[in-house]
């Protein structure tokens, strides 16, 4: 059994890695974007899905990664990898310093604090000279979209591997215990503060790397795009659409939603946003527990699974 799973994973990865050779350039572009978004959703999954702390401010880490990379490259002429390291360190520092006070808050109040944090950080950067203020920074142009694609794929694969390992570990069990009942977890001897901060730092680290790759790929960044508030909502939606607190749910959610939105944008252009909104509304009504749960549910109950969902959640 185990061998079969590993085999499937290797084949899927190999197929995805080969895209730049057999796919068109548009697919590669789409891939870079979808893979980075999936990484963000996966990063959110750790803190939001497993630990049950619904961060609405992971864009703060993404933004710091973006700016760390851009400042290192544009202002100090450092190579790309050094920029990624700088961005990653900034994000982890931010998670450690700000995580402790903010992770004391629960439920929606945590969500709002993170949202506020991301907005405040964006506004701070917009006033910083070294970050080019609100005008942003220009990175050197690099003609190698295949490399960006492979980097993004590698990052997503490693992030997912990390999530898998976490979910199998004592650490992961601790996070789930925190999600289900934090006070009980603390009584049982889980160091809740340490676990939560670690989850946030890991989540922030991968988000920052995604931001760094994106910055070098797009070549021009400004606070508006790096600390984009809709990015926060996007990554949560993708994770929840697929199934939060599962290893593969967020990836599936991210791929599927990115694909839908991309196809809509290409096919029906000006009403794409309208349809995308509609898809989300229908998804929440008919599959409030995410796609992964639909997989189980439909096998068990057939189409009445959807009816049952509505029965359960309506007033």
Give the footprint of another protein on residues 197-226 (CB under 8 A).
218-220, 222, 224-225
For 34, counting Cβ atoms within 10 Å of its Cβ (0-12 exposed, 13-18 middle, 19+ buried), the class is buried
Cβ–Cβ < 8 Å for 209, 81: no
Q: Which of 20, 46, 47, 54 binds another protein (CB under 8 A)?
A: 54
How near is the Cβ of 71 to another protein at its closest, in Å?
A: 17
Q: Which of 40, 91, 206, 237 binds another protein (CB under 8 A)?
A: 237
Residue number, 83 or 85, with CB nearest to another protein: 83
Residue number, 34 or 85, with CB nearest to another protein: 34
Q: Which of 104, 188, 304, 307 binds another protein (CB under 8 A)?
A: 104
Q: How far apart are CA 104 and CA 132, in angstroms?
A: 34
How near is the Cβ of 187 to another protein at its closest, in Å?
A: 17
Q: Which of 259, 301, 302, 307 binds another protein (CB under 8 A)?
A: 259
Q: Does 96 bind another protein (CB under 8 A)?
A: no
Q: How far apart are CA 16 and CA 19, in angstroms?
A: 5
Using CB under 8 A, which residues numbered 178 to 197 contact another protein?
Answer: 179-180
- Chain centroid offset of residue 44 CA: 5
Q: Please choose, out of 63-71, 82-90, 146-154, 253-261, the segment that lies near another protein by the rule CB under 8 A.
A: 253-261
Q: Please choose, out of 150-158, 183-191, 201-209, 238-246, the segment that lies near another protein by the rule CB under 8 A.
A: 238-246
Q: Does 165 bind another protein (CB under 8 A)?
A: no
Q: Does 158 bind another protein (CB under 8 A)?
A: no
- Mark residues 10-49: x for contact with another protein by CB under 8 A, - for none: --x-----------xxxx-xx--x--------------xx
Using CB under 8 A, which residues numbered 281 to 310 contact another protein?
Answer: 281, 283-285, 288-296, 299, 310
Q: How far apart are CA 30 and CA 99, in angstroms?
A: 33
């Amino acid at each position: 059994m185990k061998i079969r799973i590993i085999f499937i994973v290797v084949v899927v990865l190999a197929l995805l890695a080969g895209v730049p050779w057999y796919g068109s350039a548009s697919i590669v572009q789409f891939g870079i974007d979808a893979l980075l978004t999936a990484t963000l959703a996966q990063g959110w999954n750790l803190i939001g899905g497993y630990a049950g702390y619904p961060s609405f401010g992971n864009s703060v880490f993404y933004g710091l990664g973006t700016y760390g990379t851009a400042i290192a490259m544009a202002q100090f002429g450092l190579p790309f990898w050094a920029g990624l390291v700088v961005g990653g360190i900034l994000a982890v520092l931010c998670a450690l310093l700000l995580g402790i006070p903010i992770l004391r808050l629960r439920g929606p109040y945590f969500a709002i604090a993170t949202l506020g944090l991301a907005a405040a950080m964006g506004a701070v950067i917009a006033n910083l000279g070294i970050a080019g203020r609100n005008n942003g920074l220009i990175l050197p142009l690099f003609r190698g979209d295949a490399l960006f694609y492979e980097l993004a794929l590698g990052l997503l694969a490693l992030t997912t591997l990390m999530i898998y390992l976490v979910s199998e570990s004592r650490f992961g069990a601790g996070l789930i215990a925190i999600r289900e009942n934090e006070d009980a977890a603390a009584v049982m001897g889980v160091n809740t503060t340490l676990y939560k901060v670690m989850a946030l730092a890991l989540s922030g680290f991968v988000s920052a790397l995604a931001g760094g790759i994106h910055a070098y790929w797009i070549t021009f960044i400004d606070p508006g795009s790096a600390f984009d508030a809709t990015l926060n909502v996007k990554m949560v939606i993708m994770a929840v659409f697929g199934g939060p607190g599962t290893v593969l749910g967020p990836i599936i959610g991210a791929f599927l939603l990115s694909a839908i939105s991309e196809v809509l944008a290409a096919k029906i252009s000006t009403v794409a946003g309208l349809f995308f909104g509609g898809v989300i509304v229908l998804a929440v009504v008919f599959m409030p527990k995410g796609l992964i749960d639909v997989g189980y549910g439909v096998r068990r109950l057939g189409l009445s699974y959807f009816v049952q969902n509505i029965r359960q959640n309506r007033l």
